[in-house]
Amino acid sequence: MRVGIVAWMHESNTFIAGATTLAHFEEDLLVEGEEVRLRLADAHHEVGGFFHGLAEANIDAVPVFAARALPYGTVQAAAYSEILRRLETALDRAGPLDGLLVAPHGAMVSEAHPDGDGHWLSRMRERFGPTCPIIGTLDLHVNLSPSMVAACDALLGYRTNPHLDQKQRGLDAARLMARTLRGEVRPTMAGAFPPLAVNIERQLTAQAPCKPLYEQADAMLRQPGVLSNSVLLGFPYADVAEMGSAAIVVADSDPNLAQRLVNELASSWWDRRREFIGRMIGVAQAVDQAAQLEGPVCLLDMGDNVGGGAPGDGTEIAHELHRRAIGPSFVCLADAESAQQARNSGVGAKLRLRIGGKTDKLHGSPLDVEATVRGLYDGRFEETQPRHGGWTKFDQGPTAVVETATGLTIMLTTRRMVPFSLRQVSTFDLDPARFRVLVAKGVHAPVAAYAPVCKHLLRVDTPGVTCADMTRLVYHHRRRPLFPFEVDTTWGQ
């Protein structure tokens, strides 16, 4: 048996003015054939799980194609078309396949195809026909579409946020593929789409309100005939018709059972919909609280969430920390211009900088400060522990660390960098434990890295293209009615 492996992952924030280009994929991951195995087979990632699960079942893994770009704006039509062409060419080279393991993100939007993942998965089904099993994984921030469900025999969503179970979900998908090819099971999948947009602040799976929902899903897995299920929280920063929550149940040869159980899971979720409305604290209130708490305190900058596509140069929290001078504090800002100025001046130099706030007017004004250059670095670091996204190697470009007289340490990076690893701090001669406050530009993704060091984590309602308050965003294409936008929305099976 030969099973192909394909991954194409992008989380597209349609509220960003810039577009995701082919170069963004080339900078991150765009590989074919054996290079896929080399880059991902041992990663803490679903593709790593695919390889391990197929080896466990003595099935030949055929690495076909893998593409990934850091979350950003809508994927350009030309880029999407070119990547799809490369994927199909790679499949031509792969030869006959008995099954296909796929790893979409589930929230990719292209200019030509708003349901980007639904489109390419449908192309896979058209290519391989109705009898070839196509099984895959989904990020739990998927905006699930009926096209995705129709194109695949089974899709398994992550069950943790931060995403620490990606490799396990890939392993589960490969094992299900093996059972399917051996004729032990015949997966049948059903989806449910309650008209509910879950606030990003409410999406921590280890705590209520998500935890009881996942516990219910776990209990359902013990029922006879249930092969898998998924609770999918959605990605609110994609203005598409599919935006919102969804659930999946995969049953063995029983579509009626799958549909009945997924409706049951979605109905229970809908009954608790008001628990998924976000709870917000502003910048001043968050810094007030941090000043009273034992440090280190992590302030999670929700409006400038790099993992959701934001520019990473938002200054709202940095301005407040600089003004208040509550103790040693740390923030990382993507600002290639300031990083280069610091490099030109050299370690130990004092210089005037206008830091951050340069991408647009949504994320705060530049921070005008005098700072001392404390260190200059190439910006590369590695993470050995399982972390959100399964990433192990990072490159934020030439990096400078500067410090103001008020005790604010600012890391200036050339490229945007997701705060998924605390090695982003410790690699560059900084001790995270010495700071009273550390700012991480995310919501839940940084928790796995920062929680072991920070005694408190506060989610801060900052402005920006990933602002937690969805009502600030202007949607044109989302489904209507949709709770909580239309608070009187009703839904029944």
Q: Is the pLDDT of residue 246 over 90?
A: yes
What is residue 337's three-state secondary structure? helix
Q: Is residue 49 within 8 Å of residue 169, measured between CB atoms?
A: yes
308 and 338 part of one domain: yes
**Whose CA is closest to 200, among 331, 335, 107, 321?**
107
Does residue 492 lie in a domain region? no
Residue 439 lies in a domain: yes
Residue 223 resides in a domain:
yes
Kindly report, residue by residue over 443-472, the tens digit of the pLDDT.
Answer: 999 999 999 999 999 999 999 999 999 988
Asked whether residue 349 falls in the same domain as residue 378, the answer is: yes
Residue 291 has pLDDT above 80, yes or no: yes
Q: Quick check: 410 and 402 in contact, CB under 8 A? A: yes
For the cut 90, the answer to whether the pLDDT of residue 388 exceeds it is: no
Position 323 scores a pLDDT of 96
Q: How many C-beta atoms lie closer than 10 Å to residue 202's C-beta?
A: 20
22 and 130 housed in the same domain: yes
Structure tokens at 14: 């349609």
Residues 397 and 435 in one domain: yes
Does a structural domain hold residue 479?
no
222 shares its domain with 313: no
Residue 474 CA to residue 356 CA, distance in Å, equals: 25
Burial of 111 (0-12, 13-18, 19+ CB in 10 A): middle
- Same domain as 258, residue 300: no
Instruction: Identify which of 356, 306, 350, 296 has the alpha carbon closest to the alpha carbon of residue 327.
Output: 296
The domain boundary, picked from 231, 253, 276, lies at 276
Please determine, for residue 389, whether its predicted confidence score (pLDDT) is greater than 90: no
Answer whether 0.75 is exceeded by the pTM: yes
Which residues constitute the domain of residue 176?
2-276
Per-residue pLDDT band at 493 (split at 50, 70, 90): low
Residue 293 and residue 249 share a domain: no
Q: Are residues 451 and 325 in the same domain?
A: yes
| Cα-Cα-Cα-Cα dihedral sign, residues 10, 170, 395, 404 | positive
Inside any domain, residue 478: no
> Side by side, which strands form the sheet with 187-192?
187-192, 246-252, 226-232
Closest-CA residue to 175 (of 187, 191, 189): 187
Domain boundary among 243, 276, 309: 276
pLDDT at 44 over 80: yes
Position 251 scores a pLDDT of: 98
Residues 176 and 288 in one domain: no
CA distance 150 to 103: 16
DSSP state of 228: E
Digit-coded pLDDT (tens) for 170-204: 999 999 999 999 999 999 999 999 999 999 999 99
Residue 475 lies in a domain: no
Q: Would you place residue 88 in the very low, low, confident or very high pLDDT band (cuts 50, 70, 90)?
A: very high
Nearest-angstrom CA–CA distance, 324 and 287: 8
Q: How many residues appear in the chain?
A: 493
307, 343: one domain: yes
> Picking from 124-138, 334-348, 387-401, 406-420, which range would have the lowest pLDDT averaged per residue?
387-401
Structural domain count of the chain: 2
Task: Please report whether residue 410 resides in a domain.
Answer: yes
Question: Which of 220, 252, 276 finishes a domain?
Answer: 276
Q: Tell me if residue 217 falls in helix, strand or coil.
A: helix
Residues 267 and 288 in one domain: no
In a domain? residue 482:
no
Q: How far from 280 is each of 287, 349, 470, CA to CA, in Å?
A: 14, 40, 12
Cα–chain center distance at 94: 29
Q: Are strands 350-355 and 329-334 parallel, antiparallel or unpaired?
A: unpaired
- pLDDT per residue over 309-367, tens digit each? 999 999 999 999 999 999 999 999 999 999 999 999 999 999 999 999 999 888 999 99
Dihedral pair phi/psi, residue 7, rounded to 5°: -130, 135
How much of the chain, in percent, has pLDDT values that exceed 70? 100
Q: How many Å apart are CA 36 and CA 50, to the nearest integer?
A: 12
Asked if residue 269 lies in contact with residue 213, where contact means CB atoms within 8 angstroms, the answer is: yes
Distance from chain centroid for Cα 5: 21
Under 8 Å between Cβ of 189 and 197: no
**280: CB partners within 8 A, 6+ apart:** 201, 461, 468, 469
For residues 384 and 401, state if they share a domain. Answer: yes
